[in-house]
Amino acid sequence: MPRVGIPRAFSYYYFYPFYRGFLEALGAEVVVSPRSSRRTLDLMQACPTDEPCVSVKLCFAHTSWLQSAGVDFFFLPYMVSVDPANYLCPKMIGMTDMLRVGLGLPDARVLAPTVDRKDRPGQWERTFTEVAARLGVGDPARVRAALEAAGAEQARFRRLCREGLTVPEAIARLEGREVPRPRRYSARARPDPGLRIGVAGHAYILYDLIGHDLVNRLREYGRVFTAEMVDDETAAREVATLFEGEKMWYIEGHLLGAVFHWLRNCLVDRLVLLEAFECGPMSIVENFVQEEADASGIPLLILTVDEQTGEAGLVTRLEAFMDTSPRADSRTLRVSPLLHTTVFPQRGPEPRQLRAGVVTMGSLEVGVRAILQECGVEVVRLPHLGKETVELGKELAPEFICFPMVTLLGEMRQLLARGANMLLMVMGKGKCRLGWYAQVQELLLRRYGYQFEMPAFNSPFPLRTNWGPFAHVVKHVAGGASWPRIIRAFRFGWRKVVLMDEGERLLQRWRAFEDERGAADRAYGRFLAALDRADSYRDINRAWQHYREELEGIPTRDTDPLHVRAVGEIYVLLEPLVNKDLEKIVGTRVGQRVWVHRELCASDWFRLHVFCDRRLRRREEYVRHAASPYLRELVGGHGAESVGGAVLAPREGMDGVLHLMPFTCMPEIVAQNVLVRAADEHDVPILTFIMSEQTGEAGVITRVEAFLDLLEERRRVRRSGRATVGMPTGRLEWRADEVS
Ligand code: SF4
């Protein structure tokens, strides 16, 4: 009988009954790692990088325990989407690959069926059948029976939870065990059977050692309700009242729906939200919880934990909250402020009074502004972006939201201060947080008292369902301009964007060969200004021609530059405010010549995702294929492209890779994690920059200097015919809070 190990982390807390039911029906012995202990926290060091949230590190710890327990197989399903409308958190999607690569688990011992009901709805059963075959069960009838047994076990589990058992209690009941009553925690707590306390948090945090047994501590004060006690239909119905709420990540959508259900139906008197430090999805969810709790008058406590969180501090906050929170008048039902809130159209001013504010990502704003002006829409210009922009964003932004959202929020406040009454923002919901930016930014800005409208652009694809709403937004934003005028305007703005990106590619090259440092940058600066002023194609072409001539006029010499590839999250890659103008820092080093290569740019993103450019599609597939030994599931953003781009770098003539990501960026945290092994196996030096509002330019420069010195040394060694394998790949990591 094969021994199959299941780590007591992550999806164990949501789907273990299904896993156990399936594996045991196939005759396997299921081995679950023991409950987390101090020893488990030590094993978290098995996680190759420091960036992931504590939940990922716990999964590493539990899986490495199973390694030492000598199980035959590791059951590590790819949990991508369990509901056709949404995904799971990118870190959960990437967990199997992080464990496989980070712990060096041989494929032969990893059982990894894939559950992706959103993009590959019909495939999950086939992948479970493949697992059955690897466990020696090829009989389809037996596999079907095992899946049915698993489904029945899962349904029993959900029923026990709805009947008021917590996840561990329901699992114990399924296994014929009773969970022992916990010891008494607080001498101060005065039990009040009438007090109802709602607790919402990831089960893999709440019921793990790092959750400090919160549920049982609160049971000493009153009756506790947890999210798993709310049935899926109710939670889904409630969260769907939020604009595109059904697209919220599955687990977090259930949490939020449960919270809405409790608050809107006066089912709790207190609410406690438990989050992991740096949790991506909760940095979005908490805003909607706060809004609903404020409107309901129900006291809310948000607790954030990680492996460093001390029990004493947490207990003090809990006791203070329980002792001092007023008993809300929860008899009166009330209308939620979030009900059916759409981001568009608010009863904003009539089209003729529109004053549009365009946030930016690199030079994209120049193109968008040109389009709006060509449509006759008044556009408010952004001021020079800098420290003030970041401070304004930080003032309103949730603690662990990704940095791009912070700077965009700051830009929005600067635009509103300059008289904008319409803010443009993209909105397409995918695996990462970008799709929720617009709704959270609107919520935060309105809560602060700003009046405006925020038409958010969703993808026009699939045209059958999305073209109508998309066209409606375009028409409104264009001030009611005719379609022929809108198309002409788009072409004009697009021309500017394309030339800006082309111009930047030339700049990256000229920096590497120019005789006089900075000459190319000055020429590019003049080109950008001329392009921005251009209000005809003739002006645009003249600006472009002039820039090319200026470059050709710059004296150059053969400098034998280093070649460095820049990969990472698109906003951080393209926005100098956030990346500290890193490409310029690297490309204009005195005494060191570097040609920075970056494939990602605004115009190519558009060509690939809107115009479906075949050349770019082939390149994307090639890069993702190169990533696949390390990342088999797409985790959103440009995670796969970062891994593939780094793996291909040595083969494509690069001396090193710069990996840029915003603090807490989920897809890039997964990429960074698997890149540890990839860097060693492909002998490619990678310098990772994790950018946040604490990023200091001096620190960036220090790191760049050390990295370029290493690349030059490696090149010298390579050219002397000696191998560089074994030389430090220089996988330097620089956390934003290492301020210097
Ligand atoms: S970021 Fe949040 S949702 Fe994602 S794995 Fe970590 S704790 Fe879970």
pLDDT at 558 exceeding the cut of 90: no
Look at residue 730 in the predicted model and tell me its pLDDT. 47
What is the C-alpha separation between 644 and 567, in angstroms, rounded?
9
Pairing of strands 300-305, 270-276: parallel
Q: Which of 523, 558, 593 is the last residue of a domain?
A: 558
Q: How far is the CA of 680 from the centre of ligand 1 (A)?
A: 27
pLDDT at 594 exceeding the cut of 50: yes
**pLDDT, tens only, 69-82:** 999 999 999 999 99
pLDDT at 551 exceeding the cut of 80: yes
Point out which residues pair with 86 in neighbouring strands. Answer: 83
Atom 1 of ligand 1, residue of closest alpha carbon: 279
Q: Considering its fold, how many domains does the chain have in total?
A: 5
**pLDDT, tens only, 235-278:** 999 999 999 999 999 999 999 999 999 999 999 999 999 999 99
Residue 8 lies in a domain: yes
Other Cβ atoms less than 10 A from the Cβ of 608: the count is 17
Range from 12-26, 422-436, 669-683 carrying the lowest mean pLDDT? 422-436
Q: Ligand 1 in contact with 206 (CB < 6 A)?
A: no
Residue 229 lies in a domain: yes
pLDDT at 117 exceeding the cut of 90: yes
Residue 593 lies in a domain: yes
Q: Ligand 1 in contact with 714 (CB < 6 A)?
A: no
Q: Do 303 and 356 belong to one domain?
A: no
Residue 343 lies in a domain: no
pTM for this predicted structure: 0.93
Mean pLDDT (the chain) is 92
What is the C-alpha separation between 243 and 438, in angstroms, rounded?
11
Instruction: Name the nearest CA neighbour of 660 among 702, 634, 692.
Output: 692
Residue 339 lies in a domain: no
**pLDDT, tens only, 222-244:** 999 999 999 999 999 999 999 99
Look at residue 343 in the predicted model and tell me its pLDDT. 46
Q: Which of 525, 558, 591 is the last residue of a domain?
A: 558
69, amino acid identity: A
Q: Under 8 Å CB-to-CB from 292, ≥6 apart: which residues?
A: 259, 260, 263, 264, 336, 337, 338
CB 362 within 8 A of CB 574: yes
Look at residue 339 in the predicted model and tell me its pLDDT. 56
Other Cβ atoms less than 10 A from the Cβ of 590: the count is 6
pLDDT-derived band at 738 (thresholds 50, 70, 90) equals very low
Other Cβ atoms less than 10 A from the Cβ of 164: the count is 13
Look at residue 734 in the predicted model and tell me its pLDDT. 44
Which phi and psi angles does 339 have, rounded to 5°? -60, 120
Q: Do 139 and 162 belong to one domain?
A: yes
Q: How far is the CA of 56 from the centre of ligand 1 (A)?
A: 8
Determine if the peptide bond prior to 398 is cis (ω within 30°): no
Q: Ligand 1 in contact with 598 (CB < 6 A)?
A: no
Q: How far is the CA of 441 from the centre of ligand 1 (A)?
A: 21
Q: Ligand 1 in contact with 276 (CB < 6 A)?
A: yes
Among 11, 12, 92, name the best residue to mutate to test ligand 1's pocket (greatest count of ligand atoms within 8 A of Cβ). 92
Residue 243 lies in a domain: yes
Atom 4 of ligand 1, residue of closest alpha carbon: 89
Q: Do 281 and 388 belong to one domain?
A: no
Please report, for the domain that includes residue 358, its CATH number.
3.40.50
pLDDT at 129 exceeding the cut of 80: yes
pLDDT-derived band at 184 (thresholds 50, 70, 90) equals confident
Q: What is the mean pLDDT of residues 433-458?
A: 93
DSSP, residue by residue, 506-563: HHHHHHHHBSSTTHHHHHHHHHHHHHHH--SHHHHHHHHHHHHHHHHTS-B-----EE
**pLDDT, tens only, 363-401:** 889 999 999 999 999 999 999 889 999 999 999 999 899
Look at residue 724 in the predicted model and tell me its pLDDT. 65
Q: Ligand 1 in contact with 248 (CB < 6 A)?
A: no
pLDDT at 737 exceeding the cut of 50: no
Q: How far is the CA of 91 from the centre of ligand 1 (A)?
A: 6
CB 361 within 8 A of CB 437: no
**pLDDT, tens only, 318-353:** 999 998 887 665 545 555 666 544 444 444 444 457
Q: How far is the CA of 394 from the centre of ligand 1 (A)?
A: 22
Question: How many CA atoms are closer than 13 Å to the CA of 210, on its beta-carbon side?
Answer: 29
What is the C-alpha separation between 89 and 670, in angstroms, rounded?
11
Atom 5 of ligand 1, residue of closest alpha carbon: 91
Q: Do 550 and 565 belong to one domain?
A: no
Instruction: Name the nearest CA neighbour of 718 among 706, 648, 726.
Output: 726
Look at residue 736 in the predicted model and tell me its pLDDT. 41
DSSP, residue by residue, 9-41: STTHHHHHHHHHHHHHHTTPEEEEPPPP-HHHH
**pLDDT, tens only, 561-577:** 999 999 999 999 999 99
Q: Do 589 and 533 belong to one domain?
A: no
Q: Do 279 and 363 belong to one domain?
A: no
Q: Do 299 and 227 belong to one domain?
A: yes
Look at residue 187 in the predicted model and tell me its pLDDT. 76
Q: Under 8 Å CB-to-CB from 63, ≥6 apart: which residues?
A: 5, 7, 9, 33, 46, 74, 76, 99, 103, 105
Q: Ligand 1 in contact with 330 (CB < 6 A)?
A: no
Atom 2 of ligand 1, residue of closest alpha carbon: 279
Look at residue 327 in the predicted model and tell me its pLDDT. 66
Look at residue 729 in the predicted model and tell me its pLDDT. 55
Q: Do 324 and 429 belong to one domain?
A: no
Q: Do 532 and 419 belong to one domain?
A: no
Q: Do 379 and 524 belong to one domain?
A: no
Q: How far is the CA of 532 from the centre of ligand 1 (A)?
A: 42
Please identify, by atom number, the ligand 1 atom nearest to the C-alpha of residue 95.
Answer: 5
Look at residue 335 in the predicted model and tell me its pLDDT. 54
Q: What is the mean pLDDT of residues 597-611?
A: 94
Q: Do 326 and 467 belong to one domain?
A: no
Range from 11-15, 242-246, 495-499, 693-697 carrying the lowest mean pLDDT? 693-697
What is the C-alpha separation between 31 and 392, in angstroms, rounded?
51
Residue 345 lies in a domain: no
Q: What is the mean pLDDT of residues 553-568?
A: 95
Range from 154-163, 192-201, 316-325, 331-340 carrying the lowest mean pLDDT? 331-340
CB 562 within 8 A of CB 655: yes
Look at residue 352 in the predicted model and tell me its pLDDT. 55
Q: Ligand 1 in contact with 280 (CB < 6 A)?
A: yes
Please identify, by atom number, the ligand 1 atom nearest to the C-alpha of residue 280.
Answer: 1
Look at residue 22 in the predicted model and tell me its pLDDT. 98
Q: Ligand 1 in contact with 202 (CB < 6 A)?
A: yes
Six token digits for residue 349? 């001013």
Q: Do 241 and 288 belong to one domain?
A: yes
* Structural domain range at position 227: 183-332
Q: How far is the CA of 502 from the centre of ligand 1 (A)?
A: 38
Six token digits for residue 207? 């019921």
Residue 587 lies in a domain: yes
Q: Which of 171, 197, 219 is the last residue of a domain?
A: 171
Among 14, 44, 53, 95, name the best residue to mutate to test ligand 1's pocket (greatest count of ligand atoms within 8 A of Cβ). 53
What is the C-alpha separation between 491 and 485, in angstroms, rounded?
10
Q: Ligand 1 in contact with 279 (CB < 6 A)?
A: yes
Q: How far is the CA of 608 from the centre of ligand 1 (A)?
A: 29
Please report, for the domain that includes residue 678, its CATH number.
3.40.50.11900
Percent of the chain at pLDDT exceeding 90? 84
Look at residue 354 in the predicted model and tell me its pLDDT. 86
